[in-house]
Amino acid sequence: MEWAALIAWIVTAGGGSVLLAIWLGKGGMEQREGTDRIRPAFVLSHFGLAATGLVLWLLYTLTDTQALAWIALVLVLAVAALGWLMFFIWLRQRRATPSPGEGAAAAAPAEQNFPRALVALHGVGAVATVVLVLLATLGVG
């Protein structure tokens, strides 16, 4: 089960890395304060915690040190909470963004350049990762 969780985490991290690259490439770090955009602190915390948790999970799979599994579980839950927060901000923006003919391209937040399919796949991978990490940490399977 721990190897399935590791594979799911790596695949999900790959999709997240593409989303991060798009966000950075479209000026995500230059978000203005007080706007309804995903703040850089959310994105960077999400990425940093996910990467740290992934490394700890990899170490757990190699050493079978249960404490590492529990720490990684706590981290992946924090990552998931941040991910849901950012998803709902993204979704609210998506619904409020004017159509391209109304000048939306210039004013659109960086995260509105995310392909919907990639957001969906990243989310599905994240849910699978959380479930697999939880089950493996609890010793199920």
C-alpha pair distances (Å), 115 with each of 11, 32, 119, 137: 17, 23, 6, 33
For residues 36 and 109, what is the distance between their CA atoms, to the nearest angstrom?
9
| pLDDT number for residue 103 | 53
| pLDDT number for residue 96 | 82
The number of residues in the chain equals: 141
Residue 80 is encoded by which pair of tokens? 């998931």
Q: Tell me the pLDDT band of 101, cut-offs 50, 70 and 90.
A: low
Number of domains in the chain: 1
Position 108 pLDDT exceeds 90: no
Residue with tokens 């940093």: 48
Q: Tell me the pLDDT band of 106, cut-offs 50, 70 and 90.
A: low
For residues 60 and 64, what is the distance between their CA atoms, to the nearest angstrom?
5
Cβ neighbour number for residue 106 with a 10 Å cutoff? 5
Among 87, 91, 70, 89, which Cα is nearest to 125's?
A: 87
C-alpha pair distances (Å), 49 with each of 34, 74, 105: 25, 10, 31
Helix (H, G, I), strand (E, B) or coil at 103: coil
- Single pTM value for the model: 0.89
Q: What's the domain range around 35?
A: 2-138
Among 73, 65, 77, 57, which Cα is nearest to 2's?
A: 57
